[in-house]
Structure 1
């Protein structure tokens, strides 16, 4: 959901840096905007409980949610909390995507012309976040949907869509003579969209097609829409599109092979409770294009929940191996975790394996994808409660009120829950925790730790906002440790994503990135 504010953040970062052209310099640390209180470290270092390797989806890729299955997991190690060291950088990447050899790419702002700042892509040093290379579209006004950019691992191709209706493929090359980012393909599909629609998602499939959807995101140029389009572009440029009236897309999509999984919801401002989870695939040669494999009805509720950012189901769908797809509905009262079969069922009413009520009545919402892992026997699915999340700010609002009450998370009921899915049988709650979290967490299968970013409640009630990294045991839900990251609104995550790579856990912030790594001992 953080994808709504990242390009705006990059634009403001560029526009407010009123400087003549300068060489790219190492970034400075993120300054705290309040004095930090509280303990520096609470708990004990984790011992490391390596899990089953994650399920790999095809084509292999890196995205905000880990992979094209949106599992939120990685086989890379995160920190154990051994003599942990915290660092930060005034470098706004937002989403981080990881190459197979540990390279790091993300968003980038060009400030060489302060009257016409541009938003593009950057290649970064993972240890310092220094810029290694950058690329920008020719149109300086292009709005890139950086939240749903993708890195295809087989060839280090970056894919990102633009609000103009274009798809961009940018090749990253790393060699002894340095790193480069070069545009290799640009496809204009604006003519295949319905009036008023703008591009949101874009993903490669195993046949070299580029799948795309339109979509709407609050507080971005992707404003209110009255329909949705799902489609794909063949390698030869042929475009196939399917138009869905009276439904909108408000989150990411999942993809494996040539099948895409999409959640649509009712139009903003309506009380319709009709939403759908869909599976689409490519048609046979000579066919009409996009083929609907199945669609399942879900309860979209009658309204957007307090703190919610979506009208329908808020969770980007995640894949449970080759068996199921999961998301959440937006039912009034209590939302439900939905587990649906990936294969079509003879009876459409059997598409849903189980629907698990989550959190308390009248205080239940979710806008973050599930975190998913398969242990060889069952799938674990972790969901967080986003009810009454403080509003996400753009950078103009942020700079005017950096330490304001918008930082206060104590009004959230909070909570995270793990549900286990037993293939062919059903679902059961494994554990529950009262942790309040609004950022997007990340799971390391190497350490068995779910990493997140939270606020110290004791100080928040008095208007001081102290932020901590946390480590939660995936198997038990136990809070293993927390480490202070910084203080004040400058260290607010603004519901942006976390990422694990190179033994570190990174958390995107309004002004840059803060990360934690082990000191003297590393896993």
Structure 2
């Protein structure tokens, strides 16, 4: 009972420790303060407390768990279909949460192989940088959410110290049912080739933010979209097609386009009851792809920009919202592979499926589904994170059982399972299932070395909460190595993605900061 008491005390007190160890910003961090009418911070007014990047506080219990298991590997690159470069996005691997217009979650660069690993951390208070990109100077550009709202940050990729930050919008805690699962106006953004970020705000607008050569952030244009949404609706995601047209998506099922040159907006409403909780993809044929709580969609824009449904395919959304999900429906952004395939995971009972469709125009609806295969555990399978495109295959992670940070406290964890699904001309099949438990990470693949990375948490009877970066061999499904980040609630990534930087360093956000892991 004493150990349980100590573990509970540590879990309850470590966030306060994080804040206490995070003094106000020094002069090296440019920051803005209160919000103007568009939800942006106004320069010259009292600044919000900011963090100069002190390490995430460790706990003495770090010494009681394995620091590293497994062994370093030799890189074995994995072939994959090419991903065309959208001319309106930053280079592939650098533009958004899911890496590129195809949302492959895969990198050409070789990530950590486990050789003489070095780790650095930085604390930013109760603030998680769930979506990150990399600018033309290799700096991290992150959209970071906390109780106060959503802040754009530029972060040094080696020291993890903030270079600058700009609060985009405040969170209305009176409207948000749970600020830790609220996707409204601050989860997704994309970065273009001119280091301009386009993000949604809690005031139902799209905000343009310029990253300067020196790393400073400045407000660009703002496009209000309130008149196109219901009073209790909000913006969830933005994307851009191959013509440079910005697409926006609301949680209650309104989809629209924005012409940034003229400000013209066109909108389409989905059938009543369909919501949108995930990001979007696009391809070089003009298609824009997303998943509602009921159907998978391809949209194309008419000549005047009006969104038009090219095809919409229902999937099995299950009978209820499973533990680990933010909605009753698919938790995946659509993943594109090559010139033909698009893949999602459903929410079926008793077992989720990976579904692969032919995304091309002109395919009869009855022939559009290429294959559907059950994955993970029967009665305990679901994913709230997108599928990873690894060559001609997909990797899915089981998030069943994650109902919030309390689900992984005092040694508890969620349901195991990471699977690889192979695609061929005849259909698809499960190649392997690895027993690693990864409660909520957005996994990422390194095509440069043949590893897929997840953020794992094994259950422990001693009540300790140990979090690891785990590398799995894509070809065999074997766990190659795991590296401890730390013990305690402060290491929970809570739906944040894993990223690989241009130099191959691995990053994962936690609820209080950022971790960098690299080969020595």
Question: Fold-level match, TM-score > 0.5?
Answer: yes
Q: CA separation of 1:72/1:315 partners in 2, compared to 1, >3 Å: closer, same or farther?
A: same
Pairwise CA distance, 1:141: 5.6
1:392/1:495 contact within 8 Å kept: no
Deviation at 1:100, TM superposition (A): 4.7
Answer yes or no: is 1:475 the counterpart of 2:475.
yes
> 2:191 aligned with 1:151, yes or no?
yes
- Alpha-carbon shift at residue 107 of structure 1 (Å): 2.8
Unaligned ranges ≥5, structure 1: 1-11, 111-115, 216-226, 266-274, 394-403
* Residue number among 275, 287, 291 corresponding to 1:248 in the alignment: 275
Match of 1:440 in 2: 442
Corresponding residue for 1:419?
421
C-alpha contact (below 8 Å) 1:122/1:131 kept by paired residues: yes
Name 2:160's counterpart in structure 1: 129
2:143 — aligned with what? Answer: 107
Task: Give the Cα–Cα distance (whole angstroms) in 1 for the partners of residues 60 and 24 of structure 2.
Answer: 31
Please give the residue correspondences for 1:65-214 in structure 2 after superposition, counting only pairs within 5 Å. 65-91=98-124, 92-107=128-143, 119-137=150-168, 145-152=185-192, 154-174=193-213, 178-214=214-250
Residue number among 45, 48, 61 corresponding to 1:35 in the alignment = 61
> Where in structure 2 are the equivalents of 1:252-267 lying within 5 Å?
252-257=279-284, 258-265=286-293
Matches within 5 A, 1:320-339: 320-339=337-356
Q: How far did 1:205 drift? A: 2.0
Q: Determine the structure 2 residue equivalent to 1:350.
A: 367
Q: 2:314 aligns with which of 290, 294, 297?
A: 297
> Following the alignment from structure 2 to structure 1, what is the Cα–Cα distance between the partners of residues 53 and 244?
37
C-alpha separation in 2, matches of 1:13 and 1:354: 50
Aligned to 1:368: 385
Cα distance change of structure 1 residues 345 and 473 upon mapping to structure 2, 3 Å threshold: same
C-alpha distance in 1 between matches for 2:494 and 2:234: 24
Aligned length: 459
**What is the aligned partner in structure 2 of residue 392 from structure 1?**
404
Contact 2:413 2:457 in 1 (8 A): no
TM-score relative to the length of structure 2: 0.82
Separation in structure 2 between the aligned mates of residue 83 and residue 19 of structure 1, nearest angstrom: 32
1:328 shift after superposition: 0.9
Q: Is the 8 A contact 1:264 1:277 kept in 2?
A: yes
Q: Report which stretch shifted further, 233-242 or 180-189.
A: 180-189
Q: Is the alpha carbon distance of 1:344 and 1:493 closer, same or farther for their aligned partners in structure 2, counting shifts above 3 Å?
A: same
Separation in 2, partners of 1:17, 1:489: 16
Any idea what the Cα deviations from partners look like across 1:449-473, whole Å, max 9, x if unmatched?
111221233xx22211122221111
Counterpart secondary structure, 1:95: strand
CA contact (8 A) 1:418 1:429 kept: yes
Distance 1:405 1:342 in 2: 37
- Note closer, same or farther for the CA distance 1:409–1:432 as it changes in structure 2 (3 Å cut): farther
CA spacing shift, 1:260–1:74, aligned 2, 3 Å: same
Structure 1 stretches of 4+ moved >4 Å: 12-22, 139-144, 408-411
SS of the aligned residue for 1:355 comes to strand
Q: Is the alpha carbon distance of 1:80 and 1:344 closer, same or farther for their aligned partners in structure 2, counting shifts above 3 Å?
A: same
Distance 1:229 1:513 in 2: 33
How far apart are residue 493 of structure 1 and its match?
Answer: 2.0
Corresponding residue for 2:10? none
2:257 to 232, 239, 252: 232
Higher-RCO chain (CA-CA 8 Å, sequence separation at least 6): 1
Match of 2:488 in 1: 488
**2:179 alignment partner in structure 1:** none
Give yes or no for the alignment of 1:430 onto 2:431: yes
3-state SS in 1 of match to 2:216? strand
Q: Does 1:311 align with 2:351?
A: no
- 1:454-465 aligned at under 5 Å gives the runs 454-457=456-459, 460-465=460-465
| Superposed CA offset, 1:428-456 (max 9, x none) | 22222111112111111222211122123
Q: Secondary structure at the match of 2:227?
A: helix
Q: Deviations over 1:87-118 (max 9, x none)?
A: 211134332212355221103589xxxxx966
Contact 1:205 1:255 in 2 (8 A): yes
Residue 48 of structure 1 corresponds to 75
1:302-326: per-residue Cα shift (whole Å, max 9, x none)?
1111232221112121111221111
Of the structure 1 ranges 256-265 and 413-422, higher mean CA displacement relative to structure 2 is found in 256-265
- Give the structure-1-normalised TM-score: 0.81
Shift of 1:19: 6.7
For 1:365 and 1:495, locate their aligned partners in 2 and report how far apart those are by CA, in whole Å.
14
CA offsets, 1:409-437, max 9 Å, x none? 75533111101112x43112222211111
CA separation of 1:355 and 1:13: change in aligned 2, threshold 3 A = farther
Q: What RMSD over aligned residues (CA atoms) do the two structures have, in Å?
A: 2.7
CA contact (8 A) 1:26 1:128 kept: no
